[in-house]
Amino acid sequence: MISPAPDAEVFAALADPTRWQVLSLVAQGGGATATTLAGELPVSRVAVVKHLGVLDRAGLVESRRAGREVRFAARPARLEETARWMSGVAAEWDDRLARLKRLAESAGPETATEQEAR
Amino acid sequence: MQDTIEREVEIAAPVDRVWALVTEAEHLGTWFADAGAEIDLKPGGELSLTWAENGTSRGRVERVEPPTTFAFRWASVGEFSEENSTLVEFTLSEHDRGTRVHVLESGFASLPKSAEDQVAHHAGNTEGWKIELGHLAEYAERSAA
């Protein structure tokens, strides 16, 4: 019922729309580099490097050196873990709201007492 | 990905009745928690929700505007603080002679960084111990390899 949140860094990393785009492009594969990503986005290479740094610290991408270049690949595990946790929280709300609905719509003695009290 | 969760339910009961169920301790303690609740129903008032198996979560009432708006911050795990809490906002509206309840929970991104830290603070949280023991087992296996 009560579970701890995953690393908040994942949320923070994904809160920025440009960073989302960077991650989406990296996830398409092909060993993206900061240079190729900057070519596909309306931001500078320096900005792309910063975004990649945030994504790396959040465990969402991994880098590997290939000659003079650093190539990036997505690490889906962290994203899946966070998505799973979020759907768990959403499911808890569905359960709670279903209980609230049942309680509100029930015509048990509790309801009668409450209506009398009004 | 946003750090918010939105949910909605339609209830065939008047708004006033649903408002009472959403804001009164004796009801909150049955449909939200399962072993009781306490609430000082005013902005800044304290809130506690108790589960038979998971202990007590604490929070603070933020907004009370009967019969439409009720908001509180709560720490589902660990000690309550501004940082270690999310905001829950209930909005009630009349719908088809019944009530529509909209819930928005936000602020997951600002929760403290390490889940393990939170768990460590939550005394009596057996799940936390399982996680700790899991790490220990992993560590032991790595060391043995």
Digit-coded pLDDT (tens) for A41-97: 999 999 999 999 999 998 999 999 988 889 999 888 888 888 888 888 889 999 999
Q: Do A13 and A47 sit in the same domain of this protein?
A: yes
Cβ within 8 Å of residue B61, ≥6 positions away: B39, B40, B41, B42, B43, B44, B45, B46, B47, B70, B71, B72
| Strand-pair partners of A32 | A72
Q: Do A71 and A82 sit in the same domain of this protein?
A: no
Q: Is B133 exposed, middle or buried (0-12, 13-18, 19+ CB in 10 A)?
A: exposed
- B20 in Cβ contact with A118 (< 8 Å): no
Total domains in chain A come to: 2
- Kindly report which listed range (A67-71, B38-42, B99-103) carries the lowest average pLDDT score: A67-71
Q: Do residue A93 and residue B105 have CB atoms under 8 angstroms apart?
A: yes
pLDDT at residue number B126? 36
B125 pLDDT higher than 50: no
Q: How far apart are CA A15 and CA A13, in angstroms?
A: 6
Closest residue in B to A24 (Cα) is: B1
Q: What is the average pLDDT across A30-42?
A: 91
Q: How far apart are CA B138 and CA B128, in angstroms?
A: 15
Q: How far apart are CA B68 and CA B15, in angstroms?
A: 8
Q: Which CATH number does the domain housing residue A12 bear?
A: 1.10.10.10
Q: How far apart are CA B62 and CA B43, in angstroms?
A: 5
pLDDT at residue number A29? 77
Assigned domain for A99 exists: yes
Topology at the third CATH level for domain B4-111: Alpha-D-Glucose-1,6-Bisphosphate; Chain A, domain 4 (3.30.530)
Q: Do A55 and A85 sit in the same domain of this protein?
A: no
Closest residue in A to B53 (Cα) is: A1
pTM: 0.71
Residues in chain A within 8 Å Cβ distance of B57 = 2
B90 pLDDT higher than 60: yes
State both tokens at B95: 């719908």
- Does the complex come out with an ipTM higher than 0.85? no
Q: Which one has a higher pLDDT value, B90 or B96?
A: B90
Residues in chain A within 8 Å Cβ distance of B32 = 96, 100
What confidence category does residue B78 fall into, taking pLDDT thresholds of 50, 70 and 90? confident
**For residue A70, what are the domain limits?**
8-76
HSE, side-chain direction, 13 A CA sphere, residue A6: 22
How large a percentage of chain A has pLDDT more than 90? 42
